[in-house]
Structure 1
Amino acid sequence: MSVQTQAYRLKPEDIFGLLQEINREENFEDALKILTKRGLDFFNSTMAGIWLFKENKFRSLTISARTEQQESFLKQRFFPFNFQIILKKVMEGNTAFEPKIEIHEIDETGDEYRPAELNASCSFSEWRENLQEFKIRRILCVPLVHYGCLFGLLVLFSADPFAFDENSIYWLEQLMPLISSNVYEQQLHLAALEREQALSLLLRGTEILVKAVSEKQLLAEAGEMAMEILYLEAGFFHMEQKGEWILGSSFGRLKQYETVWQEWINRYKECHFPTGYIPSSTPSLKDLEESDQWDIPYPVKKISIHPIITHHGIVGELWLMESGVRDLQYTQEILSAFVRMLSMSLETIRQRMELRRLATTDGLTGILNRQGFEQRILGEMANTLRRGTTFQFLLLDIDGFKNLNDTKGHPAGDLALIHLAHNLQKSVRLGDIVARTGGDEFAVILTDLKAGQDSIKIIERLKNNLELEKLGLGVTIGVAEFPTESKDYESLYKVSDRRLYIGKDNGKGQIVVSDMVSVR
């Protein structure tokens, strides 16, 4: 019985590191050797190689393997003859075929389970004995495609019958267009100086995109970089936000006419997508009709639209305007590679932000947790000192919460916590801070508020708005003022906590604003 091995799970930084390592290698074949070598570990493979179609055969360009015997085997052989028959037909345009990644299953005897969608002649049967000897159980064929034309293959061989999972396939789909572009250009020796400069900018730009700390910064730098690579006049990002598609982060000449362009884009979408905007999953180049060019600030003949795709699907688009000075169709491949890098950077930033959100948010109530609150209060203390104002620090503890849990169960207790958090948020101002700091304890910062009768009235109103009485509960509140009573968080917390328990010990349901004064 086969046992699934623990495969390495690729991360965005692995792909960025691989691209940078390839870029640093001056010799092209040595650069591809890096790809096949890393492929052994990244994709849990035994052998890996790149084959190009030359002189009516697929010939190996670079090979990597775990053992010298395996490497020698692949270097000394062309692709199996039966396998090449269908591929030659594809190259000659005689067979309807959409190049895509294919997995070939190999049993313990070296025989292949042929995928039903492939021609029966597509087989590794000539290598049966060698596949059995090397214990190969899966073969992954990744097409090298240029403008829709198949010209080569990256092939990975694995002894693991569970190799090449969804994560591996995703990163290969992102990576291989970049590799395909480089392989094709090097083989044809047609890279002009301008194209070489564009590729250099593209790869150097990876480091800039990786260092972006926010989505806004990423899109701003990516827009300027796209202009450098393609020498275009203008463009913008069209991003999906809560089901709506919003124009933003415009660059170039669009910055001068952002409002006009926003109106034009809305009219364009209403005309061509009357039931709602539907993004395309593939890059497109649109020729504008005369009717589309009405009221445009400057002439635009074509619009290049590139989808920004992450694990969550299409999350945005890059729109580039072309007025006829340059022909966008000759830059589509470079731009597609650039957008893939942008997509990976965006995915990384959003994952980082989500992890940060999860680390600072209470999972039950959706408000800040203790860690998030401590981060926010330190910032607010600095801001308060800079403004020369004060704030009120409230600690709230639910009266009767333990009895509710004991008599009605934890689900009822959870509903009470959610109820309190919701009403707290409704009762404070936009700049105030609300958090659940543990169990049934909550913390509130009422910013720019000085202790006195006015602050007591505000806190009383907040307490009444919680509406805990309908749940058979109450709340006790301890209050301390920053920086009047303490200039650091730890001691401020202790003051408020001490007053909270003064209220608890004296009948509960109280607001305690000093060690001597409490308010019912």
Structure 2
Amino acid sequence: MKGEESVQLQRIEKRVFPDNSPSYAEILLTTIQEMNREENLLTALDLFTQRSLELFNCDLAAIYLFEQGKYKLYSISSRDDKYRETVMLSEFPQDFRETCTEVVEMDEEWVLPLSHFDKTLGAYILKGKRAQSKDERLAVFVKQVISIISSFIFERMLRIDSLDREQALTLLLRGTEILVRADSEEQLLSEAGEMAMEILFLPGGFFLLESAEGTWEMRSPFGRLKQEMEWDWRTWVRQYISKEECCLRNAKVHFLDIEDNPFKWERVWIHPLQTHSGVVGELWLMNAGKHLNDQKQEILAAFI
């Protein structure tokens, strides 16, 4: 990535400020070098938004990243608390102006897309007055900044995904050894549930299995469901099982949107459990959001 940065930065005209302070390109290059030395993505983005206040002489800089179908505020830096409070109380994208790749120098708010090869990564927001608003070269420079920070975020996300997959594989292998040593079906299900929760970072779930009498029973809850003593979650779940009857022997992964629960879970992911005789049950996994990213779906498939 460093070689790509150098090529891009060579195209940026060096503009020295009146007090002979570093140029736009020099500040950006130093910032990216410091970000590359940071192991934590959040720390690196905090550094970038802080330097953005200097680069664009603005009152606020913020970065939202697109995760599991939603935009999440990852980093915000400001000169004035009123700007910070406004953004913290806002929802993206509905409370902001439309995202645009073209910069209008005189605008008080810029909402710029972060993307890499058509993959949406998030948004970069700049708010407040700018002393350089009449400098046409600033608009060109902004596009270079967006390209570089998008590449940085994409590279870091790939690195994080790789580490998560490696960790999940280690847990799968270790968990398999534990499952093989299980003395009973109940112990097997209990261990498998805890293992699924640990690998997928989900809050809880249970197994829905067919009994010898042909009925479907909720067994071996794990996570928050196992710990919950006051809430009658089994009665709550039955309303969704009744909706689910037509799909019980569906061999595909599917989901149901859920509501009316104390943990504000939005969706339950349902994965069929199959043997040579067909579907014998399902693994129900609660999720605080409405999406399982591609990585988690791959890990879940490997686990099942």
When the two structures are superposed, what TM-score results if normalisation uses the length of structure 2? 0.52
User: Which residue matches 1:398?
Assistant: 182
Secondary structure of the 1:309 match is strand
Between the aligned partners of 2:182 and 2:134, the Cα distance in structure 1 is: 64
Between the aligned partners of 1:268 and 1:17, the Cα distance in structure 2 is: 34
Between the aligned partners of 2:183 and 2:210, the Cα distance in structure 1 is: 10
Between the aligned partners of 1:302 and 1:236, the Cα distance in structure 2 is: 14
Q: 1:359 aligns with which of 166, 174, 189?
A: 166
Between the aligned partners of 1:398 and 1:355, the Cα distance in structure 2 is: 30
| Aligned residues of 1:283 and 1:305 also touching (Cα < 8 A) | no
| Aligned residues of 1:285 and 1:305 also touching (Cα < 8 A) | no
Between the aligned partners of 1:201 and 1:271, the Cα distance in structure 2 is: 28
User: Which residue matches 1:206?
Assistant: 32
Between the aligned partners of 1:193 and 1:286, the Cα distance in structure 2 is: 19
The answer to whether the aligner puts 1:17 opposite 2:3 as a matched pair is yes
**CA spacing shift, 1:333–1:421, aligned 2, 3 Å:** farther
User: Which residue matches 2:104?
Assistant: 285
Gaps of 5+ in 2: 200-205, 213-304
Q: How far off is 1:266 after superposition?
A: 3.6
Between the aligned partners of 1:322 and 1:335, the Cα distance in structure 2 is: 15
**CA spacing shift, 1:242–1:234, aligned 2, 3 Å:** same
Aligned residues: 202
**CA spacing shift, 1:370–1:206, aligned 2, 3 Å:** same
The answer to whether the aligner puts 1:318 opposite 2:109 as a matched pair is no
User: Which residue matches 1:239?
Assistant: 65
Alignment of 1:405-420 (within 5 A): none
The answer to whether the aligner puts 1:338 opposite 2:162 as a matched pair is no
Between the aligned partners of 2:44 and 2:134, the Cα distance in structure 1 is: 23
Q: How far off is 1:233 after superposition?
A: 2.2
The answer to whether the aligner puts 1:269 opposite 2:94 as a matched pair is yes
| Aligned residues of 1:209 and 1:222 also touching (Cα < 8 A) | yes
Between the aligned partners of 1:256 and 1:192, the Cα distance in structure 2 is: 31
Farther off after superposition, 196-205 or 314-323: 196-205
Q: How far off is 1:346 after superposition?
A: 1.0
Q: How far off is 1:359 after superposition?
A: 0.8
Q: How far off is 1:316 after superposition?
A: 1.1
The answer to whether the aligner puts 1:308 opposite 2:114 as a matched pair is yes
Greater relative contact order: 1 or 2 (C-alpha under 8 angstroms, separation 6 or more)? 2
Secondary structure of the 1:306 match is strand
**CA spacing shift, 1:422–1:303, aligned 2, 3 Å:** farther
User: Which residue matches 2:55?
Assistant: 229
The answer to whether the aligner puts 1:218 opposite 2:2 as a matched pair is no
**CA spacing shift, 1:320–1:399, aligned 2, 3 Å:** same
| Aligned residues of 2:50 and 2:61 also touching (Cα < 8 A) | no
- Aligned amino acid, residue 167 of structure 2: T
Between the aligned partners of 1:249 and 1:328, the Cα distance in structure 2 is: 28
Q: Which whole-Å deviations, capped at 9, do the CAs of 1:61-97 have from their partners, x for residues lacking one?
A: xxxxxxxxxxxxxxxxxxxxxxxxxxxxxxxxxxxxx
Alignment of 1:453-464 (within 5 A): none
User: Which residue matches 1:80?
Assistant: none
**CA spacing shift, 1:326–1:356, aligned 2, 3 Å:** same
- Aligned amino acid, residue 124 of structure 2: L
Secondary structure of the 1:260 match is helix
User: Which residue matches 1:347?
Assistant: 154
Q: How far off is 1:230 after superposition?
A: 2.3
Gaps of 5+ in 1: 1-11, 23-174, 186-190, 273-277, 288-300, 374-393, 402-415, 427-432, 436-464, 472-520
Q: How far off is 1:19 after superposition?
A: 4.0
Secondary structure of the 1:232 match is coil
**CA spacing shift, 1:337–1:423, aligned 2, 3 Å:** same
Q: Sequence identity of aligned pairs in percent? A: 12
| Aligned residues of 2:24 and 2:55 also touching (Cα < 8 A) | yes
Q: How far off is 1:269 after superposition?
A: 2.3
| Aligned residues of 1:286 and 1:304 also touching (Cα < 8 A) | no
Q: How far off is 1:250 after superposition?
A: 1.1
User: Which residue matches 1:424?
Assistant: 194
Q: Which whole-Å deviations, capped at 9, do the CAs of 1:294-340 have from their partners, x for residues lacking one?
A: xxxxxxx6112222112461211111113254417631222221222
Cα RMSD of the aligned pairs, angstroms, is: 4.2
**CA spacing shift, 1:369–1:312, aligned 2, 3 Å:** farther
- Aligned amino acid, residue 352 of structure 1: R
Secondary structure of the 1:368 match is helix
Q: Which whole-Å deviations, capped at 9, do the CAs of 1:10-62 have from their partners, x for residues lacking one?
A: xx3xxx13544x6xxxxxxxxxxxxxxxxxxxxxxxxxxxxxxxxxxxxxxxx
**CA spacing shift, 1:310–1:213, aligned 2, 3 Å:** farther
User: Which residue matches 1:193?
Assistant: 16
- Aligned amino acid, residue 344 of structure 1: S
